[in-house]
């Protein structure tokens, strides 16, 4: 059905999407295990391509060297933030004394962060190959080329932002932006995959006319994004509570209104997902890709609710934090793809 060049692009794009979710998984493990500063510099780790496994292998005087480098990078970053009108935020970065602190060497945390970076590099190459192979569509569907090339620039920004995450000693709001940009990169890859697969296989888009079905999918997706934003804010507060020495058993009760909003949005998301599931199942055949993804988003939202309950009832265990983050990302991706599949076939 697909010419060889287009089939190659679709396969590479599919691999890229899988790799991007692996990056999110690796990032979730890093956060839940507190390994974000396992490598105090970037892009190398302790100025080595392969990081040390023992304290005896550390460079002499590495603490002062990397702190000095982080301070210089943060001054440049604060200057940029100041340029865009966020003077208070820039001032906070300039005078954040936590940047001058360093964590004691921990081989497990170092290698956890290092593996995260390796997966990130793999995703970067996958996006680059996707962009290169996208030029097969330069005449038939140039938008695929535009979005694929744009995604390479987005991942470069994401890599730079990752270095800022390290240099600011895991400043929470920067981690949040880092996560949201990751979802944008995933969305662009899913979009190029969707356009490429439906360019010749129009059977995917044959569906029954139902005004408002795609609108419902869009509303559900927007609610999910808002919930993700509040979820990252909840995680920021938890990071502060952890750094302040508050016991895990008191974290949920100490979060405040952001947690309540996040929880309410979770129930709204569950309701909208259930409604979308029944509408899709009643209007598409069981074998259609739309029905398959309706099942996928329903299963994912139920797992997400379960992981949220475990977080709330069992003092925020680390494994549930990672599960909650990864399932939220998969749910967003499946929701977004289903929304695209709601597009009517143009006759």
**Cα 191 from Cα 126, distance rounded (Å):** 16
The structure's pTM equals: 0.88
Helix or strand or coil: residue 239? helix
Spatial separation of the C-alpha atoms in residues 183 and 17, rounded to whole Å: 11
For the chain, residues classed under CATH 1.20.120 are: 204-347
Which parts of the chain register pLDDT below 50? none
Q: What is the structure's pLDDT at 93?
A: 75
CB count within 10 Å of CB 204 equals: 17
- Give the HSE-up count for residue 228: Cα atoms under 13 Å, Cβ half-sphere: 25
pLDDT at residue 67, rounded to an integer: 73
At 6, is the secondary structure helix, strand, or coil? helix
List the one residue out of 275, 62, 30, 261 whose CA is nearest residue 162: 30
pLDDT digits (tens, 9 = 90+) for 63-116: 777 777 777 777 787 788 777 777 777 777 777 776 666 677 888 888 998 998
User: How far is it, in rounded angstroms, from Cα 90 to Cα 74?
Assistant: 9
Q: Are 119 and 194 in contact (CB under 8 A)?
A: no
Tell me the C-alpha distance between 312 and 317, whole Å.
9
pLDDT digits (tens, 9 = 90+) for 263-283: 999 999 999 999 999 999 888
User: Is 152 exposed, middle or buried, given 0-12, 13-18 or 19+ CB atoms closer than 10 A?
Assistant: middle
Task: Return phi, psi of residue 45, to 5°.
Answer: -125, 110
Location of structure tokens 């408002």 = 212
What span, in angstroms and rounded, lies between the C-alpha atoms of 209 and 206?
9
| Cis ω before 43 (30° cut-off from 0) | yes
204-347: CATH architecture:
Up-down Bundle (1.20)
pLDDT at 170: 61
The secondary structure of 129-177 as a DSSP string is: HHHHHGGGGTTT-HHHHHHHHHHHHHHHHHHHHHHHHHHTTS-HHHHHH
């Amino acid at each position: 059905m697909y010419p060889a060049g287009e089939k190659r692009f679709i396969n590479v794009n599919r691999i890229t999407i899988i790799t991007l979710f692996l990056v999110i998984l690796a990032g979730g493990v890093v956060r839940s295990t507190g390994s974000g500063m396992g490598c105090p510099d970037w892009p190398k780790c302790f100025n080595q391509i392969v990081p040390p496994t023992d304290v005896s292998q550390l460079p002499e005087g590495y603490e002062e060297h990397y702190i000095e480098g982080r301070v210089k990078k943060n001054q440049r970053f604060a200057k940029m933030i100041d340029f865009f009108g966020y003077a208070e935020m820039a001032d906070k970065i300039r005078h954040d004394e936590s940047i001058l602190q360093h964590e004691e060497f921990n081989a497990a945390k170092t290698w956890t962060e290092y593996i995260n970076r390796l997966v990130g590099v793999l995703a970067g190459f996958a996006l680059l190959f996707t962009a290169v192979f996208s030029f097969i569509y330069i005449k038939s569907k140039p938008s695929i080329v535009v979005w694929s090339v744009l995604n390479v620039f987005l991942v470069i920004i994401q890599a730079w932002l990752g270095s800022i995450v390290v240099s600011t000693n895991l400043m929470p709001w920067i981690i949040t932006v880092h996560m949201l940009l990751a979802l944008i990169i995933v969305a662009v890859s899913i979009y190029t995959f969707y356009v490429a697969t439906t360019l010749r296989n129009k059977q995917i888009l044959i569906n029954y006319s139902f005004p408002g079905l795609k609108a419902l999918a869009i509303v559900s997706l927007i609610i999910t994004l808002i919930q993700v934003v509040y979820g990252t804010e909840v995680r920021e507060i938890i990071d502060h509570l952890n750094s302040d020495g508050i016991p895990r058993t008191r974290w949920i009760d100490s979060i405040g209104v952001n947690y309540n909003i996040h929880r309410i949005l979770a129930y709204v998301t569950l309701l909208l997902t259930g409604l979308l599931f029944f509408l899709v199942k009643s209007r598409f055949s069981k074998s259609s890709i739309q029905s398959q993804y309706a099942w996928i988003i329903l299963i994912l939202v139920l797992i997400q609710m379960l992981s949220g309950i475990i977080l709330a009832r069992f003092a925020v265990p680390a494994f549930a934090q990672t599960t909650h983050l990864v399932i939220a990302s998969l749910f967003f991706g499946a929701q977004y793809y289903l929304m695209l599949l709601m597009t009517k076939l143009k006759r």
